[in-house]
Amino acid sequence: MSAATVTQRTTSATKRKKVHHYYPKDDILRSVVDGVKIMALCGARGRIVADPVGTGQGGTPNTCPRCAERYELLRS
């Protein structure tokens, strides 16, 4: 999977903390249209939702640290 095929989207988050995850771009449309759960880079599964959740201070998103780490590895 190349870095170009990964897109950040928001899902229904865990009960503990709501965060944005990175998903393969090809899976995002399938999740939106079919409503199926897809797997993020960190291994979390979720559906794409319309309203972003997990916005941190100043309106910046809280990104899943494990997804961010794996995304950076893909980019390098």
How many Å apart are CA 51 and CA 12, to the nearest integer? 10
Mean pLDDT value across residues 51-75? 78
Q: Is the pTM of this model over 0.75?
A: no
- Give me the residue spans of the domains in the chain: 3-75
In the predicted model, is pLDDT for residue 67 greater than 50?
yes
pLDDT in tens, 47-59: 887 655 556 666 6
Q: Which one-letter DSSP state was computed for residue 60? A: -
